[in-house]
Amino acid sequence: MNADPNHRGVKVSVRGLRKSYRGQEVLKGLGFEVQPGEVFVIMGPSGSGKSVLLRHLIGLESPDAGEIRIGDEPVSCAQTMHKYRLAMVFQSGALLNSLTVGENVGLYLAEHRTQSPEEIARVVSDKLAVVGLKGTEDRMPAELSGGMKKRVALARALVMEPQLILYDEPTSELDPLSAVVIAHEIVNLNRRIGVTSLVVTHERALAFGIAQRIAVMDAGQVLVTGTPDEIRRCGIAEVRKFLNADLNLVTKTQPS
Amino acid sequence: MNMFQSIGEVFVLGWRTFLALPLAWRHRRKVFDQFFEIGNASLLMVCILSFFIGAVLVLQSGPVLVERGLANYVGGMVGITMCKELAPVMISVLIAGRIGSAMAAEIGSMQVYHEIDALRTMNINPVHYLVLPRMLALALALPMLVIFAIMVGWLGGAIVAASNLRIAIPMRPYFETMREIVEVGDVANGVFKSFCFALIVGVICCHQGMDTIGGPRGIGRSVTKAVVNSIIMIVILDYVLSRLLLE
């Protein structure tokens, strides 16, 4: 991995994480570790608690019990967000609809006043070029397709030069070609700057296509963690059921 | 319990916004944009509303006063009523409906569609980015609109007083009697009230926006609650301030 030492990824560790909403337990004491610079995919059916877990990892929610550490610091500590650069690519993109694409991408730099407006414009142009959207700075989010919005969200995350990127269902609602573009970007980014990438998805093709390690979640628990090959060979019934779910109903119901 | 929790949250949001005041200059562009938006969206409505409030005030009370030989008090009565009570309250209610609802809807939509979460993940404080500019713009714009409304209301009253045959008070004596009765302190009283109303409308509407859950229906619910709560608080605060300012 040819990572720039200044942008090296950061370790993530989760232990005994629990969260309930109105008496219903969504996360049931789950735990795992993600190594610096790793592409780690959390896979599982809808409603298994993946997105809730991601919101805890970025500090948008507080757990009822358990601990999340980013590097050496607990995520609940205010200093963690200042010490490490964390970014999240939301399932919907979550672009600010009142701002142009360029303003969205440059928002972090503009608000934190780290660079001059000219420098920000240059960085924005560079990052949009990285995701294949050069020249779209003046367009509004409403004018973009779903795939373009996700790529803009990715460019916005890149501007932060993150040490950890969290992706929430990065290829959901995308056509297969756009999904491949996003998957390429996730892997390229990881190779180029060594960022730790934590991807939440229910799409098996994406998970096995980009992951160095995979965790399979169901009903608020991590059922198994391992490399893609280990997951394929896993004998746990719920994991097998999830991996072998098949939509090929037409040939199955053909009269003999 | 929910109501007390909401009141507590409103106070906390107000306090956090107050603590963010040193950052106001940094957000001056956003303050100016909001200020322009408020003025642009409401100036014409303020003008129409205050003109007819002044006009109807003279139309209803003018003949009664004139019949009892109190024609000299028509200008003063309109002057005092407009600047101490009607302009601040009516314009604040108008702004709660026109601007407060838009604020609650915009912030509510940002909350529902995870834009506020996105701000947090970029280490951008939503109170600094969204609430502070809106509160400041409202606190600046509403007193200005109220000063404008007071003058238009006076003018509306003067036109009716001069043109209505049962009242028939020319403009010059109308404004002269007004000048004898209305003091600068009375105008300042109304402007101070409107400043307080601006803060309460701003903080309630921004809080309702940030508290939005659910989809479009949740946004609609937040907008309704924001406007209704703002109007209720304007009326309650109006009594409290009037009582305090009388002493």
pLDDT digits over A8-46, tens only?
A: 788 999 999 999 988 888 898 888 999 998 999 999 888
Cβ of B122 and A82 within 8 Å?
no
ipTM of model over 0.85: no
For residue B234, is it within any domain?
yes
Whether A213 shows a pLDDT value over 50: the answer reads: yes
Average pLDDT over residues A185-193: 85
B124 at A interface, C-beta within 8 A: yes
Count of CA atoms in the C-beta half-sphere (13 A) of A74: 9
Nearest to B225 by CA among B43, B96, B49, B39: B96
B101 pLDDT higher than 80: yes
B134-176 per-position pLDDT tens digit: 999 999 999 999 999 999 999 999 999 999 888 889 999 999 9
User: Average pLDDT, stretch B93-116?
Assistant: 94
Question: Using an 8 Å Cβ cutoff, are B107 and A96 in contact?
Answer: no
Q: Is the pLDDT of residue A231 over 60?
A: yes
Q: A251: pLDDT confidence band, cut at 50, 70 and 90?
A: low
The mean pLDDT value of chain B amounts to: 92
d(CA A146, CA A4): 31
B40 class by beta-carbon count within 10 Å (0-12 exposed, 13-18 middle, 19+ buried): exposed
Q: What percent of chain B has pLDDT over 70?
A: 99
Give the closest residue to B146 by CA, choosing from B228, B75, B234.
B234
Domain presence at residue B43: yes
Does pLDDT of A5 surpass 70?
no
Q: CB of B202 within 8 A of CB of B102?
A: no
Q: What's the pLDDT score for residue A143?
A: 92
The answer, for B120 touching chain A at a CB cutoff of 8 Å, is yes
Q: Does residue B128 form part of some domain?
A: yes
Edge-first strand order for the sheet with A73-74 is A24-34, A12-21, A65-70, A73-74
CA distance B20 to chain A (A): 14
Yes or no, beta carbons of A88 and B106 under 8 Å apart: no
Q: Is B151 helix (H, G, I), strand (E, B) or coil?
A: helix
Q: What is the mean pLDDT of residues B53-65?
A: 93
Q: What is the pLDDT of residues B17-28, one digit of tens each?
A: 999 999 999 899
Nearest chain B residue to A59 by CA distance is: B121
Q: What is the distance between the terminal CA atoms of chain B, rounded to a whole angstrom? A: 35
Domain that holds residue B222: 28-238
Q: How many domains does chain B have?
A: 1
Name the pLDDT band for A4 (thresholds 50, 70, 90): very low
Quick: pLDDT tens for A134-185.
889 999 999 998 888 888 998 999 888 888 999 998 888 778 887 888 888 8
B113 touching A, CB under 8 A? yes
Q: Would residue B9 count as lying in a domain? A: no
pLDDT at position A7, please? 55
On whether residue B14 sits in a domain, the answer given is no
Tell me the backbone φ, ψ of residue A217, rounded to 5 degrees. Answer: -110, 145
pLDDT of residue A175: 80
User: Which residues, including other chains, have CB under 8 Å from residue B91's CB and lie 6 or more apart?
Assistant: B46, B49, B50, B142, B145, B146, B149, B194
pLDDT bracket for residue A1 (50, 70, 90): very low
pLDDT for position A3:
42
| B169: in domain | yes
Residue ranges and CATH numbers for the domains of chain A are 9-71+164-180+195-256 (3.40.50.300)
Token digits of residue B162: 């001069």
What tens digit of pLDDT does each residue of B191-242 get? 999 999 999 999 999 999 999 988 889 999 999 999 999 999 999 999 999 9
B66 lies in some domain: yes
Cα–Cα dist B34/B32, whole Å: 5
Instruction: Provide the shortest C-alpha distance from residue B2 to chain A (in Å).
Output: 15
Q: A102 or A2: which carries more pLDDT confidence?
A: A102
For chain A, say whether B192 makes contact (Cβ under 8 Å). no
A248, pLDDT greater than 80: no
Flag whether residue B240 sits within 8 Å of chain A, measured between CB atoms.
no
Q: What pLDDT score does A256 carry? A: 54
